[in-house]
Amino acid sequence: MDKLLPPRLHLILTYVWLMVATYMIFFYAPQEATMGEVQRIFYIHVASAWTALLAYFLIFLGSVAYLSTRRDAADDFAHGAAEVGFVFCTCVLVTGPLWAKPVWGIWWTWDARLTLTFVLWLLFVAYLMLRSYVINPGRAAVLAAVVGIIGFVDVPIDYMAIRWWRTQHPQPVIAGGEGSGLDPRMWVALLVTWGAFLCLFAYLLRQYMRLAALGREVAHLRRLRGANLES
């Protein structure tokens, strides 16, 4: 991938894409008739949520691959997706109340989707805590992989919550049937924003995997040095 898209070029692309997304959110997308300017949080909130759900799906894939092959690259992939996905999931929980206060009149409501997103955030926390507090790295990787696989059950439930249970939203804004949907310019702004977030996610994930590989290489060299000193 470094040959097709060098890290420096990837970083520049991410920066430019984020700037374009910012312009689309605040200047290109029209003002929503009911909620007004506060609705612009929607683009960041939804794009972050989609990215967080994708991140947990990647954790699931990486965890399955690791338990099947025990390859460090698969574990790094899952771990990196958890590190970056946690940031996006936190963004969802921060922007959600900011949007809810002017719309619903309270900072937080136990809406099914918000609650399940909070559960997803706790799953990210549980995964990362296992990586941090279990002393044996191999055991930590296995336990975290189990959490990554079992916790994935929350992802489709979270996505379908607004359709399965009565929530604060009368119907999904996107793909909610007759009467739902977005202005075409809003769609463009949302997709551009999500694309920028995916580009950022991919950059941070590849940087994490590179650092993880370097860390293992350094650890290996230290072990060799220790063995040489003992001999």
CA dist., res. 158 & res. 57, Å (int)? 13
Tell me, yes or no, whether 5 lies in a domain. no
Give the pLDDT confidence score for residue 122 in this predicted structure: 92
Tell me, yes or no, whether 4 lies in a domain. no
Q: Are 94 and 45 in contact (CB under 8 A)?
A: no
In this prediction the pTM is 0.85
pLDDT tens digits, 5-32: 888 999 999 999 999 999 999 999 998 8
Tell me, yes or no, whether 10 lies in a domain. no
pLDDT tens digits, 65-80: 999 999 999 999 999 9
Please tell me the total count of domains within the chain: 1
pLDDT tier at 46, thresholds 50, 70, 90: very high
Q: Are 192 and 20 in contact (CB under 8 A)?
A: yes
Tell me, yes or no, whether 8 lies in a domain. no
Give the pLDDT confidence score for residue 155 in this predicted structure: 83
Tell me, yes or no, whether 173 lies in a domain. no
Note the Cα 216 to chain centre separation in Å: 25
Tell me, yes or no, whether 199 lies in a domain. yes
Report the chain's mean pLDDT, rounded to a whole number.
85
Give the pLDDT confidence score for residue 85 in this predicted structure: 95
Structural domain span for residue 47:
24-167+180-230
